[in-house]
């Protein structure tokens, strides 16, 4: 069946490609060989196969070349993108390093400034402690914290705090926020110190106002021991108090300098107020029998000037020093009988007359409230009492002013 089917095409091929004889003559000999139909068909088939292989290979090569070109294009695009991303990463890295260096420098500057502020603040606190300025040494005030603030012609207007701070709680995170919080706490501490110094100054000024004395006269008169003072003028900011000269262009340093000046002023004023004879001269119950000023003399019954104040109590009632000082007189004085005089410094002296006994000697140092004698009626006296005088720079003053100021302090 198959042979009959293939017989037709094969016959057609034999007609198309009949057997062929190829003759070859060499050296007088003729030879030939037959190229049969099968060989021709096989050669043609082989040639077709080779041609097909070449065509397919060519097509594959063309396709592969196109694919290679596409791959190369995609690879080039990827490489370009990679280079772009690499450049962006390098730029971001450079920016991050620059930012980090900037923040580091800023933090170093902030930390250095904070360290400087801390050291200056520590020296200020040490200075205040050396001056014995603190909560335990603040001047007492009247009930409810009220003090006498009205200015007089003898004293400048009361001053208020130089800087008002809005102290905020540091809520920022990180080291920088912590440093900022500490800086704000330093500012709050300075504000508290400044307000405390101002309050203390106003309390001390109020005491002087009650005595009727001029603040400048008391401060500038003399030192407590009566010795001379002097020396070159060195501003506080140029002294070695803070380890080095303060740059007052810096607001913090300028403020510290102002507070230190207030502390010095408060200490000077405190020493002056301590020298004031503000205490009561009788150490036990007494009654006032005669005031300072014009009165009727008990002996002549004529108008006369009374240079002191009289206090009556029992015989030998304790007579005490009104403030710390040094005994400059202890003995008999005409008209006063047995008399003790105490120099308190800053031009203040107190005189205690008509004593029955004297318990101190000239040159003794006494403290406030220390017994110096007993009440009596020696000298020009009608009965047992104390004649008490206060002298300032050679003039006698009304003791009632000082007693009133003393009651304010108490």
Residue 214 in any domain: the answer is yes
> 366 and 398: one domain?
yes
Residues 254 and 187 in one domain: yes
Same structural domain for residues 314 and 254? no
Neighbours of 163 (CB within 10 A): 14
- The residue among 252, 275, 298 that closes a domain is 275
- Which among 246, 275, 304 is the end of a domain? 275
Whether 35 is in a domain gets the answer no
- Specify whether 343 is located in the same domain as 383: yes
Regarding whether 328 and 234 lie in a shared domain, the answer is no
Both 227 and 147 in one domain: the answer is yes
User: For residue 46, is it within any domain?
Assistant: no
Q: Is residue 365 part of a domain?
A: yes
pLDDT tens for the 410 residues of the chain, in order? 566 666 777 777 777 778 777 777 777 777 777 777 778 778 888 888 988 988 888 888 888 887 778 788 888 888 888 889 999 998 999 888 988 888 788 777 777 776 767 777 776 766 666 655 444 444 433 333 333 333 333 344 444 443 344 444 444 456 667 767 777 777 787 788 778 778 877 888 888 778 877 766 676 655 544 444 434 444 444 444 454 555 566 777 777 777 777 777 777 777 777 888 989 999 999 999 988 888 887 777 888 888 899 999 999 999 999 999 999 999 999 889 999 999 998 889 999 999 999 999 999 999 999 999 999 999 988 899 999 999 988 898 999 989 888 887 76
Task: Tell whether 222 and 328 lie within a shared domain.
Answer: no
Domain finish residue from 275, 296, 327:
275
- pLDDT at residue 359, rounded to an integer: 95
CB 397 within 8 A of CB 210: no
Instruction: Look up the CATH number of the domain holding residue 348.
Output: 2.70.70.10
236 with 364, same domain?
no
Question: Does any domain span residue 7?
Answer: no
Q: Domain containing 255: what range?
A: 115-275
**Rounded Cα distance, 165 and 349, in Å:** 44
Can you give the pLDDT at residue 128?
67
HEC states along the chain? CHHHHHHHHHHHHHHHCCCEEEEEEECCEEEEEEECHHHHHHHHHHHHHHHHHHHHHHHHHHHHHHHHHHHHHHHHHHHHHHHHHHHHHHHHHHHHHHHHHHHHHHHHHHHHHHHHHHHHHHHHHHHHHHCCCCHHHCCCCCHHHCCCCCCCCCCCCCCCCCCCCCCCCCCCCHHHHHHHHHHHHHHHHHHHHHHHHHHHHHHHHHHHHHHCCCHHHHHHHCCCCCCCCCCCCCCHHHCHHHCCCCCCCCHHHHHHHHHHHHHHHHHHHHHHHHHCCCCCCECCCCEEEECCEEEECCCCCCEEEECCEEEECCCCCEEECCCCEEEEEEEEECCCEEEEEEEEECCEEEEEEEEEEECCCCCCEECCCCEEEEEECCCCCCCCEEEEEEEECCEEECHHHHHHHHHHHC
**Residue 134 sits in the same domain as residue 218:** yes
Looking at the domain assignment, is residue 212 inside a domain?
A: yes
383 and 301, same structural domain?
yes
**Does the residue 100 lie in any domain?**
no
Q: Is 230 in the same domain as 198?
A: yes
State the pTM of this model.
0.54
Q: For residue 12, tell me if it sits in a domain.
A: no
pLDDT of residue 136: 42
Residues 268 and 307 in one domain: no
**Based on the structure, what is the number of domains in the chain?**
2
């Amino acid at each position: 069946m198959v042979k009959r089917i293939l017989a037709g095409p094969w016959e057609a091929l034999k007609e198309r490609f009949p057997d062929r004889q190829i003759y070859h003559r060499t050296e007088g000999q003729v030879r030939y060989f037959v190229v049969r139909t099968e060989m021709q068909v096989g050669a043609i088939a082989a040639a077709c196969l080779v041609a097909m292989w070449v065509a397919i290979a060519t097509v594959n090569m063309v396709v592969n070349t196109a694919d290679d070109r596409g791959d190369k294009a995609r690879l080039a695009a990827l490489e370009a993108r990679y280079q772009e991303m690499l450049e962006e990463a390098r730029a971001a890295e450079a920016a991050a390093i620059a930012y980090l260096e900037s923040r580091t420098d800023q933090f170093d500057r902030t930390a250095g400034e904070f360290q400087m502020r801390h050291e200056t603040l520590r020296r200020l606190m040490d200075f205040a402690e050396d001056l014995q300025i603190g909560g335990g040494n603040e001047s007492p005030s009247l009930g409810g914290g009220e003090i006498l603030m009205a200015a007089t012609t003898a004293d400048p207007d009361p001053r208020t705090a130089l800087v008002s701070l809005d102290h905020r709680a540091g809520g920022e995170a990180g080291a920088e926020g912590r440093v900022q919080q500490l800086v704000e706490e330093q500012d709050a501490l300075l504000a508290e110190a400044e307000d405390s110094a101002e309050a203390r100054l106003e309390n001390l000024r109020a005491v002087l106002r009650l005595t009727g004395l001029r603040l400048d006269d008391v401060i500038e008169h003399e030192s407590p021991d009566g010795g001379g003072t002097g020396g070159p003028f060195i501003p506080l900011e140029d002294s070695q108090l803070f380890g080095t000269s303060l740059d007052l262009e810096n607001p913090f340093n300028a403020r510290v300098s102002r507070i230190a000046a207030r502390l010095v002023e408060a200490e000077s004023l405190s020493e002056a107020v301590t020298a004031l004879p503000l205490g009561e001269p009788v150490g036990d119950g007494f009654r006032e029998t005669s005031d300072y000023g014009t009165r009727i003399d008990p002996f002549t019954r004529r108008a006369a000037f009374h240079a002191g104040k009289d206090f009556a109590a029992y015989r030998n009632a304790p007579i005490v020093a009104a403030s710390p000082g040094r005994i400059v007189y202890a003995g008999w004085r005409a008209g006063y009988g047995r008399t003790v005089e105490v120099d308190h410094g800053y031009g203040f002296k107190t005189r205690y007359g008509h004593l029955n006994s004297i318990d101190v000697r000239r040159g003794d140092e006494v403290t406030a409230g220390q017994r110096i004698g007993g009440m009596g009626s020696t000298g020009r006296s009608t009965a047992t009492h104390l004649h008490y005088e206060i002298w300032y720079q050679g003039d006698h003053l009304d003791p009632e002013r000082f007693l009133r100021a003393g009651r304010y302090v108490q």
